[in-house]
């Protein structure tokens, strides 16, 4: 358990519904072990339990059954909850809801200030975090004037300033335009590969999953598929039956194959498709 960044063991979570008698199992007997340094992507259509799972991963929600360990700390251990949240930082969908200050650098400083980090150290962390997300030039700017992608990068900097080992991102690109999406995808890649952060990235964009070490697909609160992106997306029909698409190039290769053209069904990138053709 101490060896994993996040270790969920037989976790169940129900929201108590006031409307009907039957409680909904938002997360149903899920076990996941996230390795240190892993880039994990979680896919699933709306209502499949992804956000609930994310909130269980840093103690924002506590399991009804089972245990969740973050760097060996049980999320039910109330004495450790701030250590847990500091270890596994969370980035949400809407950057506007994550802004707390009227100047970018003050916004990024908010987390470490609340942790009681000394001012000089805060200064160092804010500069470093803004540099990582390539927003250093905007330190004195007003967040509300930034683009969606820039705001979301500032939100990520705010998490980075708390020096987490793991960052959980819950559909961080859902509200962004294509340019903002690209900025966030590049940032996530850099956090994982350069900054060695463990990444749990929840998305419904299939092309964002291609870069992951491992992909999980959720359906009705359960993990129904697990594997490398290649293992997952080569099962085009199964993925589609779960209400999801495969990446566009994979789809194209699949259709060419159906038309009788001899091409691998195992294609994930444009480069691979070009080579195969």
Of the two residues 71 and 170, which places its CB atom closer to ligand ADP in the complex? Answer: 170
Residue nearest to Mg ion (CB): 51
Q: Which residue intervals of the chain are DSSP H helices?
A: 50-57, 81-87, 104-114, 119-132, 148-160, 178-193, 229-233, 236-241, 248-258, 270-276
Task: Name which position in 46, 97, 120, 237 contacts ligand ADP (CB under 6 A).
Answer: 46
Please classify residue 33 by burial: count the beta carbons closer than 10 Å to its beta carbon, then call 0-12 exposed, 13-18 middle and 19+ buried.
middle
- Nearest distance in Å: CB 27, ligand ADP: 7
What pairs with residue 216 in β-bridges? 42, 226
Task: Name which position in 9, 37, 47, 252 contacts ligand ADP (CB under 6 A).
Answer: 47
Burial 189-218, CB ≥16 within 10 A → b, else e: eebbeeeebbbbbbbbbbbbbbbbebbbbb
82 binds, among Mg ion, ligand ADP, none (CB under 5 to 8 A by kind): none
- Nearest distance in Å: CB 46, ligand ADP: 4
Residues 235, 211: Cα–Cα separation, whole Å: 17
Task: Name which position in 48, 51, 152, 173 contacts Mg ion (CB under 5 A).
Answer: 51
- Nearest distance in Å: CB 218, ligand ADP: 6
Task: Establish if 48 lies at the interface with Mg ion (CB under 5 A).
Answer: no
Report phi then psi at 260, rounded to 5.
95, 5
Task: Name which position in 49, 59, 95, 180 contacts ligand ADP (CB under 6 A).
Answer: 49
Residues 186, 26: Cα–Cα separation, whole Å: 31
Task: Establish if 8 lies at the interface with ligand ADP (CB under 6 A).
Answer: no
* Distance set, CA 10 to CA 65, 67, 78, 81, 209 (Å): 7, 7, 20, 20, 25
Task: Establish if 50 lies at the interface with ligand ADP (CB under 6 A).
Answer: yes
User: Interacting stretch for ligand ADP, rule CB under 6 A, among 48-56, 150-158, 231-239, 264-272?
Assistant: 48-56
> What is the pairing mode between strands 73-74 and 88-91?
unpaired
- Nearest distance in Å: CB 25, ligand ADP: 8
User: Interacting stretch for ligand ADP, rule CB under 6 A, among 3-11, 47-55, 56-64, 244-252?
Assistant: 47-55
Residues 5, 130: Cα–Cα separation, whole Å: 25
Task: Establish if 15 lies at the interface with ligand ADP (CB under 6 A).
Answer: yes
Task: Name which position in 6, 11, 34, 44 contacts ligand ADP (CB under 6 A).
Answer: 44
Task: Establish if 51 lies at the interface with ligand ADP (CB under 6 A).
Answer: yes
Q: Which residues bind Mg ion (CB under 5 A)?
A: 50-51
Q: Which residues bind ligand ADP (CB under 6 A)?
A: 15, 24, 26, 44, 46-52
């Amino acid at each position: 358990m101490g060896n994993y960044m996040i270790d969920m063991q037989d976790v169940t979570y129900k929201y108590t519904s006031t409307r009907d008698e039957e409680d909904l199992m938002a997360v149903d007997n899920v076990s996941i072990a996230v390795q240190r340094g892993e880039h994990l992507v979680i896919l699933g259509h709306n209502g499949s339990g992804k956000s609930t799972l994310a909130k269980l991963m840093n103690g924002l929600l506590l399991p009804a059954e089972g245990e969740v360990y973050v760097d060996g700390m049980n999320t039910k251990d109330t004495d450790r909850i701030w250590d847990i949240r500091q270890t596994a930082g969370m980035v949400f969908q809407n950057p506007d809801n994550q802004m707390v200050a009227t100047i970018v650098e003050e916004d990024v400083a908010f987390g470490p200030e609340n942790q009681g980090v000394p001012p000089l150290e805060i200064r160092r962390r804010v500069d470093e975090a803004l540099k990582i997300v390539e927003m250093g030039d905007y330190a004195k700017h007003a967040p509300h004037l930034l683009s969606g992608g820039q705001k979301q990068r500032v939100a990520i900097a705010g998490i980075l300033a708390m020096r987490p080992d793991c960052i959980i991102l819950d559909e961080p690109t859902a509200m962004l335009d294509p340019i903002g999406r690209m900025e966030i995808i590049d940032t996530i890649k850099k956090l994982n590969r350069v900054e060695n952060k463990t990444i749990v990235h929840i998305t419904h964009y299939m092309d964002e999953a291609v870069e992951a070490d491992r992909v999980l697909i959720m359906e009705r609160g359960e993990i129904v598929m697990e594997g490398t992106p290649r293992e997952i997306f080569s099962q085009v029909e199964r993925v589609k039956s779960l209400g999801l698409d495969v990446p566009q190039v994979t789809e194209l290769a699949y259709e060419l194959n159906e038309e009788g053209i001899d091409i691998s069904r195992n294609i994930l990138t444009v480069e691979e498709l070009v080579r195969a053709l």
